[in-house]
Amino acid sequence: QVQLVESGGGLVQPGGSLRLSCVASGIMFRDSTMAWYRQPPGKGREFVASITGGRITNYAEFVKGRFAISRDNAKNTVSLQMNSLKPEDTAVYYCKAQMLWSGSVSWGQGTQVTVSS
């Protein structure tokens, strides 16, 4: 079975930082494209960042220069470093995996990020 287990969410003040992690199992992690999405309160799920098996990255415009996605294949982990956080970054953040061979998609359970003073 595929599992994506997220951690690192919490409450931070504006301007603060958080680092989210997603540990994957049950997939060929090295060849999978990984991504982070988020869902703000009362809104739909939106793309944040992605990284391919070849470590090509892509970012939503609203996080460029503030967030960085990375992967550690030895630990089957994808991370999202979030700096200069704003109240509008408040959302449930989800980890997503797309498998190379099958093209199937899996989602993590989500982790809450709240930015407030």
For the segment 9-19, what is each residue's pLDDT rounded down to a tens digit? 999 999 999 99
Asked if 34 contacts 95 with a C-beta cutoff of 8 angstroms, the reply is: yes
Per-residue pLDDT tens over the stretch 39-50: 999 999 999 999
User: What distance in Å separates the CA atoms of residue 96 and residue 115, rounded to the nearest whole number?
Assistant: 22
Number of residues assigned to the chain? 117
In one letter, which amino acid is 95?
C
